[in-house]
């Protein structure tokens, strides 16, 4: 009979696998979605942006609510929201309905991800919890490795709706099993309700900023809609700050911002994903739109990326025992910079995968994803204790989503809705911007403090 802690592990991992798999294969579906709804490229960008906005908005509040109501209840609510969003996306008659459903999925993911690890550790033997955390991380890596091939195959055969159908097929049994097997964790009834008003203000600010960046080039930067959207996004910033300083359970704990190393980790958590995430998504768009790859072929072409990232993350963990995290982060960013420069200089409008595209796919997986992103958490955790760890990691997750969202908005804004004949030139502009951002990422990594023990 399967031990209880392993049963809980696999129930929670079903949801984690689902969220990670879906997030990774969505870029493969964008071209098919645009063709299905006859939508412009900036419009289809909201399929990714809506998820990121919702996840960034609610992940900290969801973590606080889970402490108050119990992680089982939080996990079930999140999984139910995710499945409902998947059903809606599967049946969506219009693009705006699909975008709304993606927002629902993002909110669900915000509840599922932090609660899942807490549920596992609550029943796992205390002397073996490192093994549980490693396995939890590995399942996400497996999902990322399967997504390009599995997602490309499904989309190629049944169209983009199959991606959402797959989420329903995995999500419903996961929800049923979770209700039957999971037990509630300790509730901190005395804890205050999280500031959902502040979270919604953050969502509004991010949405307006995304709108101005994505549509600015298409509508014109002097268009009244762009000016108003950008102005409102900026006006909301001091109001959000006021909520953070005045609410008893804010979306960002002010005391965290007083920690010097943690503040720098927040900055790098925004800066690095601002070019890493558009780097991956734009490679998919380039293969499908410039080289006319079908989704399955594009997925197979990208398969070395998660494979290299998974191997590099294991290597980064071992290297961190001998080298400072800053050194590893700098090396990771430099590797990714080489990959982005390669994309700017080598590939042409004619397909040449092995000579022009294979190298940056592998280098990007090794550098940014495999070694860079794990170091953000490692550096951010230096100043945190048991009381602030969960909240601090949640805020770092929000910062990563903000960085990714901003970078994607800029990239899709540059791509615009130009004729196919001009696509190659637009991608050249995107690669140029990502080169600049990646160099800034190297400089940001260099500014990080070393571990005190290694400095001595």
Q: What pLDDT shows up at residue 446?
A: 87
Q: What is the pLDDT of residue 451?
A: 67
Residue-level pLDDT at 168: 93
Q: Which residue has the higher pLDDT, 384 or 155?
A: 155
**According to the model, what pLDDT value does residue 292 have?**
94
Whether residue 112 has pLDDT greater than 70: yes
pLDDT tens digits, one per residue of 166-206? 999 999 999 999 998 888 776 665 567 788 898 899 999 99
User: Which DSSP letter does residue 447 get?
Assistant: T
Does the pLDDT at position 1 exceed 50?
no
pLDDT over 90 percentage in the chain: 42
pLDDT value at 359 more than 70: yes
Residue 288 C-alpha from the chain's centroid: 22
- 416 versus 131: which is more confidently predicted? 416
pLDDT tens digit sequence for 361-375: 999 989 888 888 878
User: pLDDT at position 118, please?
Assistant: 77
Q: Burial letters for 277-308: b for 16+ Cβ neighbours within 10 Å, e otherwise? A: bbbbbbbbbbbbbbbebbbbbbbbbbbbbbbb
263-294: pLDDT as tens digits: 888 888 888 888 888 999 999 999 999 999 99
Q: Does the pLDDT value for residue 454 go beyond 50?
A: no
Q: 240 is written with which tokens? A: 């959000």
pLDDT digits over 317-345, tens only?
778 778 888 888 899 899 999 999 999 99
Distance, C-alpha 222 to centroid of its chain: 31
- The whole-number pLDDT of residue 62 equals 86
């Amino acid at each position: 009979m399967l031990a209880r802690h392993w049963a809980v592990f696999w129930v929670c991992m079903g949801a984690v696998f689902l969220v990670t798999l879906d997030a990774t294969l969505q870029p493969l579906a964008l071209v098919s979605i645009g063709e299905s709804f006859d939508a412009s490229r900036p419009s289809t960008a909201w399929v990714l942006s809506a998820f990121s906005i919702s996840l960034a908005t609610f992940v900290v509040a969801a973590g606080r609510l889970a402490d108050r109501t119990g992680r089982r209840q939080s996990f079930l609510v999140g999984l139910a929201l995710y499945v409902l969003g998947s059903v809606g996306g599967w049946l969506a008659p219009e693009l705006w309905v699909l975008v709304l459903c993606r927002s629902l999925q993002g909110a669900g993911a915000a509840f599922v991800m932090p609660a899942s690890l807490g549920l596992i550790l609550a029943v796992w033997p205390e002397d073996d919890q490192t093994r549980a955390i490693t396995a939890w991380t590995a399942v996400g890596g497996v999902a990322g490795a399967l997504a390009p091939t599995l997602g490309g195959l499904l989309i190629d055969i049944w169209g983009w709706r199959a991606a959402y159908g797959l989420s329903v097929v995995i999500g419903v049994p996961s929800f049923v099993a979770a209700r039957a097997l999971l037990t509630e964790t300790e509730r901190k009834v005395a804890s205050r309700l999280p500031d959902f008003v502040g979270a919604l203000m953050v969502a509004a600010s991010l949405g307006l900023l995304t709108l101005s960046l994505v549509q600015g080039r298409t509508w014109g930067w002097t268009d009244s809609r762009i000016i108003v959207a950008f102005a409102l996004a900026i006006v909301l910033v001091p109001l959000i700050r006021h909520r953070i300083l005045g609410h008893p359970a804010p979306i960002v704990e002010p005391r965290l911002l007083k920690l010097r190393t943690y503040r720098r980790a927040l900055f790098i958590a925004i800066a690095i994903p601002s070019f890493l995430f558009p780097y991956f998504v734009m490679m998919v768009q380039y293969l499908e739109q410039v080289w006319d790859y079908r989704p399955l072929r594009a997925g197979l072409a990208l398969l070395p990326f998660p494979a290299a990232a998974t191997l590099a993350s294991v290597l980064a963990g071992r290297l961190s025992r001998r080298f400072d995290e800053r050194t590893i982060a700098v090396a990771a960013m430099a590797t990714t910079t080489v990959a982005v420069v390669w994309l700017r200089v080598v590939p042409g409008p004619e397909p040449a995968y092995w000579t022009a595209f294979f190298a940056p796919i592998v280098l990007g997986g090794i550098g940014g994803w495999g070694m860079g992103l794990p170091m953000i958490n490692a550096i951010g955790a230096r100043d945190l204790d048991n009381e602030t760890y969960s909240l601090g990691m949640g805020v770092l997750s929000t910062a990563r989503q903000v960085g990714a969202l901003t970078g994607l908005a800029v990239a899709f804004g540059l791509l615009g809705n130009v004729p196919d004949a001009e696509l190659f030139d637009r991608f050249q502009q995107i690669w140029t911007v990502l080169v600049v951002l990646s160099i800034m990422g190297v400089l940001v990594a260099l500014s990080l403090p070393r571990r005190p023990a290694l400095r001595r």
